[in-house]
A and B are shown apart, each in its own frame.
Chain A
Amino acid sequence: MELQFKNPSFFERLKSMLGVDFYRLFHTPLFYIFLSIAAIIPAMILGTTGMEEGVAPMYTNTWHIIAGETPTYVVNSIAEYANMNMVFIFGGIMVSIFIGHDYKSGYVKQLFTTHPKKQDYMMSKSITCAFAMACMCLTYTLGAVAAGLLTGTSFEVNVGSLIIAIVSKMIMSLGWASLYTFLNVIFRKYFGISIVSSFFFGTGILIIGAAALLGESSILNIFLYGSSVYACLTSNFDTLIVCSVMSIGWAIIYNVLGTALLSKSDVY
């Protein structure tokens, strides 16, 4: 019998790798647990801070738990910090568990045996995790709306800006997912460090620190946390452009770095 080898195209390779990741995403509880967490968190914050008698509610408008009124990099209160950007913190933990299981189970061996091109792995994980985080943004919105209705908090907003803010944050998921994929590739042998590092970068603490020194500067928008904050309730079409450019730009950088790292080091 004569053996024949057909070279799969880049898209065929990516399709098969994405197929595996999405199959796993939809067939394991992890994704649904984090969707629920994303929905519960805003509901809990808005519910508990809005129903306490005699205490001024932390949020006077439901949509403030989605995004700030204006881009606020210098954080003065929890209310200014706690918004949809928190999805990127939980998302980081989810990505660490998702990728960590690849290594812990040993399944990554199968992936690397059949996919010698390491960019397939980086791109597939980034896209799948970005999708998961974007879905978390949606359940976060649903949780916020439900809590707003329950507490009777105001829903007054510029609908166009709100939609742009939510869509922009969803687009930012790609950049964040690529960062977390890269971190998990660096610390692939150390599951604990992967989670801690993802959490650390997800909080945006470095950018908040930089903002404390630099003040409210739009230069911070070049970072993932900065552009995520830039997506606010006064967003316009420019916001969408800035977030798209930054998210895709960082995704490319992290994918290139991750591919180089995987190509030059032992993967398992």
Chain B
Amino acid sequence: MNAIEIRNLSKSFRGMYALDGLNMTVPVGAIYGFIGENGSGKSTTEKLICGHLVADQGEIKLFGRDFTDPGIRVRVGALIENAGCFPGSSVYQNLMMQAINLNLENPDAEIRRVLKIVRMEDSASIKFKSCSLGMKQRIGIAMALLGEPALLILDEPINGLDTDGMRIMREILIDITKNYGCTVLISSHILGELEKIATHYGIIRQGKMIMEISASDMDKRSRVFVDLKTKDLKKTKSLLELKYKNVKEEKDYLRVYDVEEVDLIVKYLLENNDLIKEIKKNKIGLEEYYIELMSKKEDK
């Protein structure tokens, strides 16, 4: 069973298509990184899943049931665009309203639990309007976490968080998926951060899903490369090009793609009297993969 299954979903605003026949599959228990440029349709998709927008056509299923099923929707936690809190009310009061909305049996204990998770136990009495951007974001996450959601939809949740906040967020998401079986749909522009937690990716462009891939498959596909520095890059480049197909000169180093054994390069250059100052093996990350994919699509 999939947590989210979307088929042929379309949504237009004043004749302009924000989503154009989108298909999406999010397995249960996944942390699904939803990636795309600004205006590609990420937030529109999330709003459609949450019922904030009405689709022109298409089908949305959550846990095998129609997305309008109240039993499913009460188990959906969302943070889309902002926390959605009353500025004049305290953090506790805002959370209490959401706890009542979710019909939780022990709202006070549940509020204390989520405040502890987002490390805001001491801020319950502060008015929401007095909170910093990072605090507001954390409160939004706390609201979404209330009542142990089966599906968490987070739109750019890392925005406004400091380094520690990002780490806390990572820990929370990994914990709730592993220990509570929660599925997370998360969109973010900070791909490096997303890469650390996502188990699946969906890449959207101009309202269409252009690729869905698991993190392990992405890892298999990622090209291996070696970055190295020598005294004379031009000379080294000509030497390497005799043996390796893909050698690129960057600003102050050379990048050699599809190299499995680093020591072979070292040996080869030493044999040719070229001394290596620095060498490092790496894999193409999500960010580079995404940029490469987008540029390929643009070329087409």
Contact = CB atoms under 8 A, between A and B. Distances in A.
Interface of A: 1-3, 5-8, 12-13, 15-17, 19-20, 23-24, 27-29, 101, 105-117, 263-268
A101 B93 CA distance: 15
A89 B268 CA distance: 88
Given A6-B71, A109-B84, A110-B98, 11 more contacts: A5-B63, A7-B71, A8-B74, A13-B70, A20-B97, A27-B89, A109-B50, A113-B50, A114-B73, A114-B76, A267-B51
A101 B70 CA distance: 24
Contact of A105 (B51, B71, B74, B84): B84
A105 B85 contact: yes
Contacts of B78: 109-110, 113
Interface stretch (B99-107, B204-212, B279-287, B289-297): B99-107
Interface of B: 28, 47, 50-54, 63, 65, 67-78, 80-89, 93-94, 96-98, 100-103, 143, 150, 179-181
A111 B69 contact: no
A11 B85 CA distance: 25
Contact of A116 (B47, B69, B82): B69
A268 B150 contact: no
27 contacts: A3-B63, A3-B181, A5-B69, A5-B72, A5-B75, A7-B69, A8-B70, A8-B74, A12-B103, A20-B97, A20-B100, A23-B96, A24-B89, A105-B84, A105-B85, A105-B86, A106-B83, A110-B78, A110-B84, A110-B101, A113-B51, A113-B76, A113-B78, A115-B74, A115-B101, A117-B70, A268-B47
Contact of A115 (B70, B150, B179, B181): B70
Majority DSSP secondary structure for residues of A touching B: helix
B26 to A, nearest CB: 14
Nearest to A17: B101
A125 to B, nearest CB: 14
Nearest to B102: A114
Contacts of A20: 97-98, 100-101
Contact of A16 (B67, B93, B102): B102
A2 B78 CA distance: 21
Contacts of A19: 100-101, 103
A113 B185 CA distance: 15
A28 B51 CA distance: 28
A27 B93 CA distance: 8
B255 to A, nearest CB: 44
A124 to B, nearest CB: 10
Contacts of A13: 70
B86 A107 contact: yes
B201 to A, nearest CB: 23
A116 B84 contact: no
A24 B86 contact: yes
B31 to A, nearest CB: 16
Contacts of A16: 100-103
A243 to B, nearest CB: 32
Contact of A107 (B54, B67, B76, B97): B97
A266 B84 contact: no
A31 B17 CA distance: 43
A191 to B, nearest CB: 15
Given A5-B75, A28-B86, A113-B78, A268 B103 contact: no
A233 B47 CA distance: 52
Nearest to A268: B52
A29 B87 CA distance: 13
A27 B128 CA distance: 14
Contacts of B47: 268
Contact of B52 (A27, A28, A266): A266
Given A112-B50, A115-B73, A107 B80 contact: no
A7 B71 CA distance: 4
A107 B150 contact: no
A263 B53 CA distance: 9
Contacts of A107: 84-86, 94, 97
Contacts of B93: 23, 27
Contacts of A111: 101
B15 to A, nearest CB: 15
Contacts of A12: 103
- Which 3 pairs between the two chains have the least Cβ-Cβ distance? A106-B84, A7-B71, A1-B181
